[in-house]
Structure 1
């Protein structure tokens, strides 16, 4: 199987650390290596490096080459502009179909924390076998560790399965906490990991069936479909295909997993670094009578007094002060400020 790392997003939920010029996948958030580098290093442990590709926006192509100098330029699939995961997946499929290559693809986000790489390989191998033998789409479903409002959920059949994968019956968009508490009590519900395993021809068939205009615009571009890319709609692969497909299965994944798309997720991964008062700090930070904060100070001394349960982030791009309970509003508010010409990101 080939693995395509998706590395084209903006990462607005980690503003102001993650900004448009250098979003989260190109940042060192959990170690000295960036998320993209960590993802690549993990994957080369389970598949040959020649089988690993990166799909990214033209804006970030130079960053990919800078951070992964060992990656051949021919392994970088370039989106002319950012158009969400639906067009991204379609362009990736076309990249291989133009070369008469229909080997199974794993489409994987670049910013996930999956420390048990051998368990991941086992799950992907099961998914590969299913995707290879039929025109099925296989996802990895994460067994929920807690009620979570930042992730979408996958509901599956309790009886209909194939080779260890459960038939998906429906998707649930990011729920409120009350709904999330109910969801995690069900035995057939999983977090949507965003990891998808399928053949390029399956992607093409699904696009033709569910997004014919999008696919026609790309495929009609001949050997240079990228010229049509800017006119494509911004649509996620979930909306474009997965929520409409009737040949969708999920393999339960019961190991540690985090989508490092928010300050809360970063806190969970770095919780062992917390001080005696539960503060997780980065930079020159002095905290007095303050507890359970995330404090990130870049390039300047920071003093925090009498603050609890806050996210405080200071970078050259801006200053964020946010109560942890209000973090779900961060992405939409950053986008609102951008639209108002506020210069965020």
Structure 2
């Protein structure tokens, strides 16, 4: 069986920690059984896949904007299928299917299972996923799903309505009900309906044949070329609702979608993350603070206080899901990002009347990692090393740098840096258009940089 993890979305219900580059699955707020450090949803899920021997057959399908974040948290060896742009779940699953078929050479009779990258579940959930293959082969169904046995009549989740006895290993699906009212949910529970976990399994041939019927390429590289022309449509609407023969496997264990502050704080590793104090009378109040200034909470109950470089949220927990509506139309550049080499925070961004801009960042580079050898056309930069040691390359010359060194990088100068120990530096950009897209990456690895600089010296 081949597994595809779908990693997408911006998770704006968890603002200000989540933004367009850091979705909810990357927030490190969950307890870690193996050490004292907090972990993210994607780290937790990948650990569970390793524990159930599924990681070797798993590929993550994601957008270009999330690649650095995934590699930062899971390492550079995790296999990725990278969408050129976000186009909903059907195009993403179609691209993954063509990758398995035309690049990996997977047999058309092989079962392909697709699941979100961020469910909060027990490890037994992934043992249940293994049962999808046998259930599909036994039943000759076109699709197999997993449904969690509800613990209460929730209006937040979709429901799978059974057509037969749900006490068996699997059952025929009658229909679906998306986010009903609580009264409707109570009636659904009486009909033994299950929460829809967003897991789909099918034989690879099912999707490849569907693409052929739609006159879409089944070659991965050809589909990549046409990707921007694909309809933005979910897999539910494009496939599931039009499929007649569907089965579902009941899962009788913990399953949660930690998509709001209200649900996320129920599973957080601590009442306080970051600098701050929550006084004893502030019952059921959580503080998440990524800023370097302390926050003190007194006499505020049932609330979430969250502070990051992107903003500050103070909300009653039950009202916190409204943040997505409130932020509708609100746009700003991400003020914090994790990259494959480390992280950065935006400290200040000023635009002057004459058209000049100044952007100040604090940048952290992990030991052994490097920024690409690059250049910019619309800005100059000044780096001040404040922590750690490394090697700095400027216009094909490499030198050792340490705390206190000030590095001046003119417009269009080739430059890069590799950390020997964990490094931090303050970067001040000055120019007419300070955007992330103003970059030409010449070399990605430091070995390439060193080889290039040696050849340049020899000329």
TM-score strictly above 0.5: yes
Task: Specify which structure has the bigger relative contact order, considering alpha-carbon pairs within 8 angstroms and separated by 6 or more residues.
Answer: 1
Match of 1:71 among 67, 73, 77: 77
Give the TM-score normalised by structure 2: 0.64
Counterparts of 1:247 and 1:49, CA distance in 2: 29
Question: Closer, same or farther in 2 for the Cα pair 1:231/1:321, shift >3 Å?
Answer: farther
Per-residue CA shift, 1:290-334, capped at 9, x if unaligned? 222232222231122332222221111112222222233333333
Larger Rg belongs to: 2
Query: Is the partner of 2:179 in helix, strand or coil?
Result: coil
Q: How much is the aligned-residue C-alpha RMSD, in angstroms?
A: 2.6
Question: Closer, same or farther in 2 for the Cα pair 1:90/1:17, shift >3 Å?
Answer: same
1:93 Cα deviation after fit: 0.9
Q: What is the aligned partner in structure 1 of residue 310 from structure 2?
A: 317
Question: Closer, same or farther in 2 for the Cα pair 1:84/1:114, shift >3 Å?
Answer: same
1:242 Cα deviation after fit: 1.4
Question: Closer, same or farther in 2 for the Cα pair 1:144/1:90, shift >3 Å?
Answer: same
Question: Closer, same or farther in 2 for the Cα pair 1:71/1:52, shift >3 Å?
Answer: farther
Q: What is the aligned partner in structure 1 of residue 27 from structure 2?
A: 27
Counterparts of 2:252 and 2:168, CA distance in 1: 17
Unaligned regions of 5+ residues in structure 1, if any? 274-279
Q: How many residues are treated as equivalent by the alignment?
A: 323
- Does residue 225 of the first structure (1) align with residue 218 of the second (2)? no
1:202 Cα deviation after fit: 1.6
Match of 1:250 among 248, 251, 262: 248
- Does residue 52 of the first structure (1) align with residue 58 of the second (2)? yes
- Does residue 111 of the first structure (1) align with residue 118 of the second (2)? yes
1:104 Cα deviation after fit: 1.2
- Does residue 87 of the first structure (1) align with residue 80 of the second (2)? no
Query: Is the partner of 1:149 in helix, strand or coil?
Result: coil
- Does residue 295 of the first structure (1) align with residue 273 of the second (2)? no
Q: Is the contact made by 1:94 and 1:200 (CA closer than 8 Å) also made in structure 2?
A: no
Question: Closer, same or farther in 2 for the Cα pair 1:190/1:163, shift >3 Å?
Answer: closer
Counterparts of 1:135 and 1:241, CA distance in 2: 14
Counterparts of 1:109 and 1:256, CA distance in 2: 16
Match of 2:199 among 191, 195, 200: 195
Unaligned regions of 5+ residues in structure 2, if any? 32-37, 336-459
Query: Is the partner of 2:13 in helix, strand or coil?
Result: helix
Q: Is the contact made by 2:90 and 2:233 (CA closer than 8 Å) also made in structure 1?
A: yes
Per-residue CA shift, 1:171-190, capped at 9, x if unaligned? 11122333334433x24211
Counterparts of 2:143 and 2:82, CA distance in 1: 24
Query: Is the partner of 1:98 in helix, strand or coil?
Result: helix
Which has the larger displacement, 135-144 or 57-66?
Answer: 57-66
Question: Closer, same or farther in 2 for the Cα pair 1:342/1:27, shift >3 Å?
Answer: closer
Question: Closer, same or farther in 2 for the Cα pair 1:207/1:240, shift >3 Å?
Answer: farther
Question: Closer, same or farther in 2 for the Cα pair 1:95/1:120, shift >3 Å?
Answer: same
